[in-house]
Amino acid sequence: MTGVEHLVGLAPLTVAGAAAMTFGAAYVRGLTGFGMAIILVPLLGLIVAPGEAVVLGILLQLLIGPVGLKVILADADRSTAAPIALLAMLATPAGMFALDATTPDVARLLITLIAVGAFVAVLLPKQPEGHRPGRIAVAGTGVVSGILTGFAAMPGPPVVPFYLRRHLEPRVARASMMLIFFATAIAGTLAALWVGIATARLVILSLILFPPMWFGNLIGGHHFGRVAPHVWQTMVAVVLGVAAVSAVVRILN
């Protein structure tokens, strides 16, 4: 048994595969502002238990959250991102308890449905020019995002359509989503520690996966400003579509 295998309970080749998955998902995050968990958690669920994949996804989002935080705070639409983030943090423990009480097969099915739902939601028509979301929309987005953070490490399905259906500059939408996801990662980590499903093994594995995640995020962020807004939004839809199709294929197999 190698040192890595002793620490995380996975063969070195499996860890290398997880690193490659993490790099790709982090590149998408850097480019679009989201997508890391939607892509990565179902993939990690192939090599670890679904509950562990969720916790690992949350830990990775916590580690990458501070990267570029100064720019994120400057660009984000804080009038909506701040209340959504706060409500999501408060709702995260509810999702974590639901995950702890759900069987692995049911968890896989629900996570697949979440990925499909995110793709469908982002295809909905845009809001009228100048539309400002009301309190109910903000509150609903925050609560659902928090529950999905705790259950699937996927705060994105309600948040991504919330911002992409508005007429916002890509940098504003991207920064707003990143701010919310960092907040939910903090809440998710605290909830996982409280429930007792964040183990030392998963913490070590997240630290091992941090370098490829950081590098993928760096390259994705470098490419972000080089694409036109309509191309960026198309790429967002494609990412969600691929994640949804992949999730369905995995659950059928």
Is residue 98's pLDDT more than 80? yes
- 115 or 80: whose pLDDT is higher? 80
Question: How many helices (DSSP H) and strands (DSSP E) are in the chain?
Answer: 12, 0
**Which residues, other chains included, contact 134 with Cβ-Cβ below 8 Å and sequence gap of 6+?**
none
Question: How crowded is the C-beta side of 230, counted as CA atoms within 13 Å?
Answer: 0
Task: Give me the mean pLDDT over the 59-81 stretch.
Answer: 92
Q: 1: pLDDT confidence band, cut at 50, 70 and 90? A: low
Tell me, rounded to whole angstroms, the distance of Cα 247 from its chain centroid: 15
State how many domains the chain has: 1
**Which residues, other chains included, contact 211 with Cβ-Cβ below 8 Å and sequence gap of 6+?**
none
**Which residues, other chains included, contact 193 with Cβ-Cβ below 8 Å and sequence gap of 6+?**
none
Q: 156: pLDDT confidence band, cut at 50, 70 and 90? A: confident
Residue-range definition of the domain harbouring residue 68: 3-252
Helix crossing, 200-224 with 50-64: angle to 10°? 50
Please state, in angstroms and rounded to a whole number, the distance separating the CA atoms of residues 235 and 74.
24
- The pTM assigned to this predicted structure is 0.82
pLDDT at 158: 87
Q: 251: pLDDT confidence band, cut at 50, 70 and 90? A: low
